[in-house]
Amino acid sequence: MPGSQPKVQLRAPTCCTAQNIYLLQRHSHRGQRRTMDITRATMIQLTVLVLLLGDSLLIPIAAVDIHHLKKGGCPPGTKFPSSVKVNLNINGQNALAISGDVRTRSISPWEYSYDVNNNRFPSTIAEAKCLHTGCLDAEGNVDINLSSVPIRQEILVLHREMKGCVPTFKLEKKMVAVGCTCVRPLVQEQ
């Protein structure tokens, strides 16, 4: 369908257990105590939604009474959503075009290689690779008294797994080299 945006369904846990409950406690301006219990998996999904969608968060967070959790079961009437629709139409192509000039002007220049996996979102991830072990001086010569090292950033990715004929998505962390920087080398005394 022209103009349609890709959709992904994230599956939330069907029940809560004492070991996977994350407690968030706040005190209101009247001193009344409010407690919100959210499973860790749901908390991760909410984090992804906030990162991907910004202010247009799609799911409300339901407050849960802690006393029901101590009894070993889910509180009555509290249901976590079985699926959540997420708009994954994110345009990040401008980021590489803007940083392209920086990577060649840096005293620790780098190039990009591309990790492609069609069962992952994003399917293509650019990885920086330092061009030299040392850093460049003002004339463009490599100075081996300094070290060129990658700058790493942890990102969240969705992996698609097929269970029978039904695709499910698993949220994972991935370390990605996003650029390189120049540092003093480590000196180890012996």
Buried b (16+ CB within 10 A) or exposed e, 132-146: bebbbeeeeeebeeb
Is 113 inside a domain boundary?
A: yes
We report the CATH number of the domain holding residue 174 as 2.10.90.10
pLDDT score recorded for residue 65: 47
Using CA atoms in the order 12, 36, 156, 174, what is the torsion angle rounded to 10 degrees? -100
Which of 71, 87, 103 is at the close of a domain?
87
pLDDT score recorded for residue 26: 35
pLDDT score recorded for residue 45: 58
Domain check: are 154 and 81 in the same one?
no
pLDDT score recorded for residue 184: 93
Segments forming the whole domain that contains residue 53: 7-87
Is 54 inside a domain boundary?
A: yes
Domain check: are 83 and 17 in the same one?
yes
Residues 6+ apart with CB under 8 A from 58: 49, 84, 85, 86
Domain check: are 70 and 124 in the same one?
no
Contact 102, 84 (CB under 8 A): no
Q: How many domains does the chain have?
A: 2
Which of 87, 121, 151 is at the close of a domain?
87
Domain check: are 127 and 163 in the same one?
yes
Distance CA 139, CA 30 (A): 65
Contact 152, 135 (CB under 8 A): no
Domain check: are 156 and 112 in the same one?
yes
pLDDT score recorded for residue 74: 55
Domain check: are 66 and 22 in the same one?
yes
Residues 6+ apart with CB under 8 A from 69: 16, 18, 21, 37, 75
Which of 28, 58, 87 is at the close of a domain?
87
Is 2 inside a domain boundary?
A: no
Domain check: are 77 and 108 in the same one?
no
pLDDT score recorded for residue 189: 80
Domain check: are 68 and 107 in the same one?
no
Q: What's the pTM?
A: 0.49
C-alpha to C-alpha distances, 11 to 16, 37, 84, 90, 141, nearest whole angstrom: 14, 18, 7, 21, 53
Contact 36, 61 (CB under 8 A): yes
Domain check: are 120 and 178 in the same one?
yes
Contact 64, 75 (CB under 8 A): yes
pLDDT tens, residue order, the chain (190 aa): 445 444 444 444 444 333 333 333 333 333 433 334 344 555 555 565 555 554 443 334 444 444 544 555 555 555 555 666 777 666 655 555 555 588 889 999 999 999 999 989 899 999 999 999 999 999 999 999 999 999 999 999 998 888 888 788 889 999 999 999 999 988 878 7
